[in-house]
Amino acid sequence: MSRFTPKVVTGNALIEGDVVYLTVDNRWTRSHAEAELIEDEAHAQLRLLHGASQRQLVVGAYLADARRGPNGPEPAHFREAFRTRGPSNYPHGKQVDLRHV
Q: Where are the domains of the chain?
A: 7-88+94-98
pLDDT tier at 65 (50, 70, 90 boundaries)? very high
The lowest-confidence range among 51-60, 69-78, 85-94 is 85-94
Q: What percent of the chain has pLDDT over 90?
A: 69
Do 90 and 82 form a contact (C-beta atoms < 8 A)?
Answer: no
Task: Check if the beta carbon of residue 65 is closer than 8 Å to that of residue 76.
Answer: yes
Q: What is the DSSP letter of 26?
A: S
Task: Convert the pLDDT of each residue in 21-45 to its tens digit.
Answer: 999 999 999 999 999 999 999 999 9
